[in-house]
Chains A and B, each alone.
Chain A
Amino acid sequence: MPGETTSPAGGKGERNDTLRPITIKQALEATQPFPEANYQIDSHDLGSVVFVGQLRNISRQSTNVTYKLDDGTGEIEAKQWVTPGTEDSMDTADDLAPAANGVEINGYAKVFGKLKSLYGDRKVVTTHSVKPITDINELHCHFLEAAAIHLFFTRGPPPSAGGGGGAKDAAMGGVGAGGYGGETGGGHLPAMSPVARRMYNLLKNKPQTNEGLAAQQIAAELGLPMADVARAGDELLTAGVIFSTVDEQTWALLEY
């Protein structure tokens, strides 16, 4: 895309084709682990995002259309690049798709795009689709979706689906035999992130000495970077479901 800020994901080469519903407040508070890195919300990399908002301003320039959106939680700008390539196929070059997409000032719109930084601190969403919302239920539903996804990332799958989720997590961690074990304990377990839950299931199901498992071992079993394991370890320690044994990097399950 012309004029776009350099792709921060370029160095990592990892594809992230996820589409996450968010609120504008979440977008404004998204963090980068280091400059030029992917933005993160709830410690999870963002792929594409979708958000809703009331259009406060539309400014058409020769290369892009900038929308200012407000969803009640904050304000952000979305830029839609006008690609010269489409001019040929369109009848009028002046008002391209953005004019014909039916959005109007003070109307609600749904925006699909990617969160980028602009001039350092400012954030902008580069979008390829801005569509008007005509059904108010869609608007409300979006916020509830955003809330559900936030809860999934911060507290793990909901308890009702915890059995399925837990079993799958255990299977993903290579502990297929103990798959059903993922569900047990879900009842009295505190809310935790998916990574912490996988680690808990591993500690629960993997045969081990009373010294428990070392962080390196856990990282290898779950196929996770050490930083994630350390964070999940902290989370489980704080929750009081594991304790450190021979050293601070070796944990065992606190059975009770």
Chain B
Amino acid sequence: MSLQTPRVLPSHLHAFNPSTAGPRSPPPVRLLGTVTALRGDTATITCGTHGEVTLILKPDSHLQMGKLVEVVGKVAEVDGGLGIKVLATVDWGNPADCDYKIYEKLVDVTHRLKPLFYDSVE
């Protein structure tokens, strides 16, 4: 199986939770959001109108407040909720340059058209 990192929205995180996903370890996920809080080794991103997600940062993660970031990471439990243990981040600059609705549609399409995007992920 090749390495896949499905694009998701915060509401999909539960499907990739390693403690409930069964014997097979779920793949890392990709999430897009705006950095709204930085607290040393954790951060919070806001994903459009879909709420916030807490990130557990790596020592070499360089996030900047107010920037749009694409996060690749493993779903992990944080403070009783679900968050992301960051593996990598990509800075996409000003959130105003991204139409989050396109991303929502894309996530929807990727989960409908498995043959194009991902082997079974859930």
Interface residues of A (CB under 8 A from B): 23, 25-26, 28-29, 54, 70, 72-75, 106-108, 135-137, 140-141, 143-144, 146-147, 150-151
Report the tally of A-B residue pairs with Cβ distances under 8 A.
68
Which residues on A sit within 8 Å (CB–CB) of B64?
none
User: Are A140 and B106 neighbours in the complex by a CB distance under 8 Å?
Assistant: yes
Minimum-distance CB pairs A-B, first 3: A74-B2, A140-B102, A72-B5
Of chain B, the residue at the smallest CB distance from A150 is: B116
Range class of the B interface residue count: 20 to 34
Of chain A, the residue at the smallest CB distance from B32 is: A136
Q: Is B6 interfacial (CB 8 A cutoff)?
A: yes
Which of A25, A70, A144, A150 is in CB contact (< 8 Å) with B106? A144
Of chain B, the residue at the smallest CB distance from A29 is: B115
Which of A75, A107, A135, A140 is in CB contact (< 8 Å) with B2? A75
User: Are A143 and B109 neighbours in the complex by a CB distance under 8 Å?
Assistant: yes
Binds A, one of B18-26, B46-54, B90-98: B90-98
Which residues on B sit within 8 Å (CB–CB) of A140?
99, 102-103, 105-106
Which residues on B sit within 8 Å (CB–CB) of A25?
2, 4, 115-118
User: Are B2 and A147 neighbours in the complex by a CB distance under 8 Å?
Assistant: no
Q: Complex: how many Å from CA A147 to CA B70?
A: 21
Contacts A54-B90, A72-B7, A150-B115 given; indicate if A137 touches B99 (C-beta within 8 A).
Answer: yes
Which residues on A sit within 8 Å (CB–CB) of B109?
143-144, 147
For this complex, 22 residue pairs linking A to B, each with C-beta atoms less than 8 Å apart, are: A25-B4, A25-B116, A26-B116, A28-B2, A29-B115, A54-B90, A70-B3, A72-B117, A74-B2, A107-B90, A108-B90, A136-B32, A136-B92, A136-B97, A137-B98, A140-B105, A143-B109, A143-B117, A144-B102, A144-B106, A144-B109, A146-B116
User: Are B116 and A23 neighbours in the complex by a CB distance under 8 Å?
Assistant: yes
User: Are A72 and B4 neighbours in the complex by a CB distance under 8 Å?
Assistant: yes
Which of B4, B88, B106, B110 is in CB contact (< 8 Å) with A74? B4
Which residues on A sit within 8 Å (CB–CB) of B68?
136
Q: Complex: how many Å from CA A72 to CA B29?
A: 9
Q: Is B30 interfacial (CB 8 A cutoff)?
A: yes
Which residues on B sit within 8 Å (CB–CB) of A54?
90
User: Are B102 and A147 neighbours in the complex by a CB distance under 8 Å?
Assistant: no
Q: Complex: how many Å from CA A74 to CA B113?
A: 15
Which residues on B sit within 8 Å (CB–CB) of A106?
88, 90
| Interchain nearest-CB distance for A110 vs B (Å) | 15
